[in-house]
Amino acid sequence: MSGSEKNWKDSNWYVSITSFWGEYRKHRIGLIGIFIMAIFFGMAIFAPALATHDPTPQVKVAPTYLAPAWLSVFDPNGVVTDDYLDDPFLTESPFMAVNGTSEEFSFLHQPIDDLNNQSYVNLTWSHTPGTDLDYRGQDPEFTLPDYNDFVYFDQIVEWPWNNKPSDVNMSVSYATELTGDFANESLAGNLMFRVYVWIIDSSGDWTRLYESREATYTAQVQEKRVSLNYFSIEDIFNGMVSLNGTPQIDPLDQITVRVGLAPRFTFQSVSDTFNGSVIFKFTQLKMVAYGEYFGLMGTTNWGADAYSQLIYGSRISIIIGILATALSTAVGVIVGMVAGYFGGKVDEVLMRVVDFLLVIPGLPLMMVLAAFLGASIQNIIIVIAILGWTGTSRLIRSQVLAEKNKAYVESARAIGASDTYIMFRHILPNVTPILFANITLGVVGAILSEAGLSFLGLTDPEDPSWGRMLADARSGGAFSTGAWWVVLFPGLMITLLSLAFTFVGHTLDQVLNPRLRER
């Protein structure tokens, strides 16, 4: 062992830390507390990566009060709400084809757009003057386009459920680029290109879901929504329902979503003069089928994702718990040290203020202050801190009264040290160990206070907190509808996080309190 390494390991701070950890790890309950706290801190730090949807309580992602998806194992006829397209963001090369015999069409898949870090699929319809188009005429069933000459790409959907969905919403996002004569503004008004979305079941039947009506050619990505009606859902999914274990119309639980690009019949009159191409860049294709189940923890009364709110709720609780406790501890330490060190009238005045705040009911006063200051995280921290420092000040005062008459304080006075120097340089380090346990237990109080204020509707409704989830469950009729998951999970999170800090605080008290350690 080198001399520098030996000196480092012999330093006071290293010896103190190793000695403290040696004592702490003897307490199993303290290790459990650290483990639980680590999980919650990980949730808070990596919340953007862990959350699956927008955590804002009012952002609807599915119908209200859908049960967690894992409960579907007990319901063989249940449908889990989800996007059933394997590649909604088009990161992989789909099956692409040209219908017809003409050779002037091209298509391109670009996995990653380096400029926007975005995946997309290009469907390109090119034309040279004098090329004849395969015009079929208007389809009397309004299913196929006017021309056989169209380009398309396919996305396969595996439907794993026996039942059909209660509703299906689709969306397709695309932008447009024109080249050659197509880019001429004076001629662009004659262009009539349309985007089509079909669903093809396993029997080969086509159902047209969407046909773009407007001739808008813009480089900005636009999202077009497609809502399937009752009859379309029946036609597409009903053939996949089993009756007494026997497959009905379609033997395969597989459908194809086809996106195509084709000219409209009015293009024929100008086809001899146009030379160029129209490129439709598709960036997203989604098909959300709605059922009775959703996500890891279901949905709330707003139809928001309960799991994402739980993940982000850890941030709110930890931030408010730690910052409010830090602020209240700082105030309590200063008041307690001043009162204990100077005594006399200073001590009398400060302790009467503490007594006054202690006799006032805490929750009603916090409600008044929260309503007066406004519903924001900063104000909630201030409100909790205003009422959280009194216990710390009494604890520190009692310790300072025991320390201020000891020999090391008298020696500091004898050499001319100032009162501020003595309080913060000599006395404070000796009362700090007992303070650590008080801090961790104070975090528990702050977490519970924030949950209570959120439950009463005194915090920002846009903040995804656990107390807010319980308040929404109460006002949204969760108890009457049997939506137990929006009550159980946030309550469990509050309990576990509070227990974790309680376990750590109790263990710190056992390790750092000399009286308890002697036992």
- Residue 3 placed within a domain: no
Q: Give pLDDT tens digits for 302-345.
A: 999 999 999 999 999 999 999 999 999 999 999 998 988 888 88
C-alpha 159/C-alpha 237 separation (Å) is 9
- Give, in order, the Cα–Cα distances in Å from 446 to each of 39, 369, 439, 489: 19, 15, 10, 20
Domain end: 270, 294, 318, which one?
A: 294
Give the whole-angstrom CA distance, residue 416 versus residue 410: 10
Helix (H, G, I), strand (E, B) or coil at 427: helix
Sign of CA dihedral 50, 53, 57, 61: negative
pLDDT in tens, 488-504: 999 999 999 999 999 99
Q: Are residues 48 and 149 in the same domain?
A: no
Examine residue 427 and state whether it is found in any structural domain, yes or no.
yes
Is 346 part of a structural domain of the chain? yes
On whether residue 415 sits in a domain, the answer given is yes
> Is the same domain home to 274 and 313?
no
**Most confident listed range (231-245, 430-444, 458-472):** 458-472
CATH number at residue 209: 2.60.120.260
Q: What is the pLDDT of residue 132?
A: 67
Please report whether residue 204 resides in a domain: yes
Q: What is the pLDDT of residues 47-74, one digit of tens each?
A: 999 998 999 999 888 899 999 999 988 8
Residue 314 sits in the same domain as residue 270? no
Residue 114's pLDDT band, with cuts at 50, 70 and 90, is: very low
384: which 2 tokens?
């909790």
Tokens (6 digits) for 116:
């926007």
Exposure of 357 in the CB half-sphere (CA atoms within 13 A): 19
**Residues 423 and 454 both lie in one domain:** yes
Judge residue 390's burial from the number of C-beta atoms within 10 Å of its C-beta, 0-12 exposed, 13-18 middle, 19 or more buried: buried
Within this chain, do residues 112 and 187 fall inside the same structural domain, yes or no? yes
Q: How far apart are CA 24 and CA 33, in angstroms?
A: 11
pLDDT at 213: 73
Q: How far is CA 160 from CA 76, 84, 281, 426, in A?
A: 11, 10, 30, 70
288 and 316 inside one domain: no
Same domain membership, residue 308 and residue 224: no
CATH number of 393's domain: 1.10.3720.10
- The answer to whether position 97 is within a domain reads yes
In a domain, 482, yes or no: yes
Number of domains in the chain: 2
DSSP state letters, 128-154: -TTPPP-B----TTS-S-SBS-EEEEE
Answer with the one of 248, 263, 294 that is the final residue of a domain: 294
Domain end, chosen from 260, 294, 328, is at: 294
| Pair 342, 247 in one domain | no
Q: What is the CA radius of gyration of the chain?
A: 34
User: What is the percentage of the chain residues whose pLDDT exceeds 90?
Assistant: 18
From 31, 55, 98, 115, select the one nearest 300 (Cα to Cα). Answer: 55
Residue 162 in this model has a pLDDT that exceeds 60: yes
- Provide the pLDDT for residue 229: 82
- Look at 445 and 215; give whichever has higher pLDDT: 445
Write down the pTM of the prediction. Answer: 0.79
Mean pLDDT rounded to a whole number for the chain: 80
Tell which wins on pLDDT, 127 or 283.
283
Task: Quick: pLDDT tens for 173-202.
Answer: 988 888 877 776 555 555 567 888 888 876
Judgement on whether residues 383 and 438 belong to the same structural domain of the protein? yes
Verify that 269 and 389 share a domain, yes or no.
no
Confidence at residue 486, expressed as pLDDT on a 0 to 100 scale:
92
pLDDT tens readout for residues 119-137: 788 888 777 776 666 777 6
| Span 72-108, pLDDT tens digits | 888 888 899 998 888 888 877 666 665 543 334 444 4
Per the structure, the complete domain to which residue 175 belongs is given by 70-294
321/430 same-domain check: yes
pLDDT of 495: 93
Q: What is the pLDDT of residues 404-438, one digit of tens each?
A: 888 888 888 888 888 888 888 888 888 877 787 78
- Does residue 246 have a pLDDT over 60? no
| Portion of the chain with pLDDT greater than 70, in percent | 80
Strand partners, 198: 208, 258
- pLDDT at residue 11, rounded to an integer: 62
Distance CA(317)–CA(451), nearest Å, equals 8
- Residue 8 inside a domain? The answer is no
- 424 and 350 in one domain? yes
**pLDDT at residue 389, as a whole number:** 87
Task: Kindly report the number of other CB atoms within 10 A of residue 44's CB atom.
Answer: 18
Mean predicted confidence (pLDDT) in 18-32:
85
